[in-house]
Structures are given as structure tokens and as C-alpha cells.
Amino acid sequence: MKSLNTGINIFMNTVGGKWKCLILFFLSQKPMRTKEFYILIPTITQKVLTDQLKQLERDGLVRREVYKVVPPKVEYSLTE
């Protein structure tokens, strides 16, 4: 079968999945720390959240900013 490289297929490959759209929605409201996601999405596991954020960062939709403070602070936000 021929692979269709249409806009909707590219979109679904990028943000498809159970949690990505919800993560993007919350990030559209404000930058967030990991703990805030657990409060807003209590049924998501640490592994799944980490994997989803890494994939969104890899695809250029989310930026991860690490602050050099003790304890370490990591904040996620949407890219332009």
C-alpha cells in the first residue's frame, strides 16, 4: 500500500496518541512544570508523560527549559 504524505497524516503522526493533544492544550494556557501535568492529568504515568514530552520536543512543538537551581527546575512551553 502506498504511504500517503498528506497534511492530516503528518499531523496525526506528530500529535496522535492518547495524551499529546491534552498536553498541548495545557501548554497553550501557560508554561508548565512536570508536577503540574500530574495534577491536571492524574491518570498519566511518569513514563508516558516523559515519552510524550520527549516526542513533542523532538518534533519541535515543545521547548524544554532547564533552570540551574537547586533543586533542578524544568519547565515546558510551546514553541513558535
Domains of the chain: 7-78 (1.10.10.10)
Q: 60 versus 3: which is more confidently predicted?
A: 60
Asked if the model's pLDDT at residue 14 lies above 60, the reply is yes
Q: Is the pTM of this model over 0.85?
A: no
Asked if the model's pLDDT at residue 62 lies above 60, the reply is yes
Which of 66, 53, 58 shows the shortest CA–CA distance to 27? 53
| Beta strand extents in 1-80 (DSSP E only) | 32-33, 62-67, 73-78
Residue 67: CB atoms within 10 Å: 8
Measured between alpha carbons, how far is residue 52 from residues 1, 34, 46, 69 in Å?
Answer: 28, 12, 10, 25
Asked if the model's pLDDT at residue 26 lies above 90, the reply is yes
pLDDT bucket at 18, cuts 50 / 70 / 90: confident
Q: Which of 15-19, 28-32, 59-63 has the lowest mean pLDDT?
A: 15-19
